Amino acid sequence: MKRVVAAFGLVAILTAAAYWYLTSPNRQTAGLEPMPGGPADLANGRAMFFAGGCASCHATPNQDDRTRLGGGLALHSPFGAFYAPNISPHPRDGIGSWTEQQFLRAMRAGVSPDGRHYYPSFPYTSYQRMTAADIRDLFAFIRTLPAVEGRVRDHELGFPYTLRRGLGLWKLAFLDGRPFVPDPTKSASWNRGAYLVEGPGHCAECHSPRNVFGAVIEERRFAGGPNPEGKGWVPNITPHPTGLAEWTKGDIAELLSSGLTPEGDSVGSTMTAVVRNTSQLAEADRDAMAEYLRSLPPREGRKGPR
């Protein structure tokens, strides 16, 4: 009997040690490349800011200045309510005291400066595709914006989602840590579009259905589905009859510029904020995104309510 108890005790210790190791935030950041040296390109940082839609989540609600990134927007989900944090350059309440490498850790690995896992309501599963140089430029641009005082309230989550350590297991399953790799068989424009859509643009985060763990279902990526926030429907944006099969590259680029569909309708809901951002991109970037979206494999998606 003593041997059985000892064996169970040993298994419990080994299981706890394995869990502690596998869920460690340090394990996820160990292989990150250092931030590249040299001066930041603020013009490119501005482009990444709009491509990434930073203001859509982090701008302080109920005010018109999209550069005041005081946070506070509520993002509702089946797991509870997440509140976008202050990412203004405020040294205490925002990210003004962060280093470049800490910002890279957050964007690529979803780890905070104090060593905690960020919840994937922050779309680092897409931002991990960004180059370190683009992340450096984005950080430099954000530091030129107004410092906004005030901390954001804590997330409102139920048990067991309050246990951040467990996110290490989620990341093992759904965060591969690989930056974008250009396809040498494709054009420079196609690769630029792929990078913007899959990386900073994080289009799949909204335009894909999710599994019970809140992760994108890869085989139905971009095929649309219920709004992650629980209200409304996000459309299929693959060239499938249930999606954008009849849209041309010019139609998609026009929507990203003006918000107008080929039928003359205007986009609504959260896509309005997306167009507010993509309209600030260079025309060549919008064309590149349209080219890539037209090249996606057609995937059938459920057709939601109009």
User: pLDDT, tens digit, for every residue of 49-87?
Assistant: 999 999 999 999 988 888 999 998 988 888 889 999 999
Taking the C-alpha atoms of residue 204 and residue 140, their distance in angstroms, rounded to an integer, is: 26
Q: In sequence order, what DSSP letters do the residues of 174-242 get, joined into one string?
A: H---PPP---TTS-HHHHHHHHHHHTTT-GGGTSS-B-TTS-B-GGGTTS-EE-TTSSSEEPP-SSSTT
8 Å CB contact between 89 and 108: no
Segment 81-103 mean pLDDT: 94
> Side-chain half-sphere of 305: how many Cα atoms within 13 Å?
4
User: pLDDT, tens digit, for every residue of 189-226?
Assistant: 999 999 999 999 999 998 999 898 889 999 999 998 87
pLDDT at 300 (0 to 100)? 86
Cα–Cα nearest to 191, from 183, 179, 200:
183
Taking the C-alpha atoms of residue 206 and residue 200, their distance in angstroms, rounded to an integer, is: 13
Band of pLDDT at residue 37, cut at 50, 70 and 90: confident
Neighbours of 253 (CB within 10 A): 22
Is the model's pLDDT at 20 over the cut of 60? no
Taking the C-alpha atoms of residue 187 and residue 189, their distance in angstroms, rounded to an integer, is: 5
Band of pLDDT at residue 118, cut at 50, 70 and 90: very high
SS3 (DSSP) at 244: coil
Neighbours of 121 (CB within 10 A): 21
pLDDT at 232 (0 to 100)? 73
Is the model's pLDDT at 233 over the cut of 90? no
pLDDT at 29 (0 to 100)? 63
pLDDT at 134 (0 to 100)? 96
Picking from 7-11, 34-38, 217-221, 279-283, which range would have the lowest pLDDT averaged per residue? Answer: 7-11
pLDDT at 285 (0 to 100)? 96
Is the model's pLDDT at 4 over the cut of 70? no
Is the model's pLDDT at 306 over the cut of 60? no
Q: How far is CA 105 from the centre of its chain?
A: 14
**How is residue 230 written in tokens?**
């629980």
Picking from 42-46, 77-81, 84-88, 124-128, which range would have the lowest pLDDT averaged per residue? Answer: 77-81
Cα–Cα nearest to 167, from 52, 12, 13, 19:
19
Band of pLDDT at residue 163, cut at 50, 70 and 90: confident
Band of pLDDT at residue 229, cut at 50, 70 and 90: low
Q: Where are the domains of the chain?
A: 2-174, 188-295
Share of the chain above pLDDT 90, in %: 58
Sign of CA dihedral 47, 84, 58, 213: positive
pLDDT at 305 (0 to 100)? 58
> Radius of gyration over alpha carbons of the chain, in Å?
21
Highest mean pLDDT among 4-13, 165-174, 221-230: 165-174
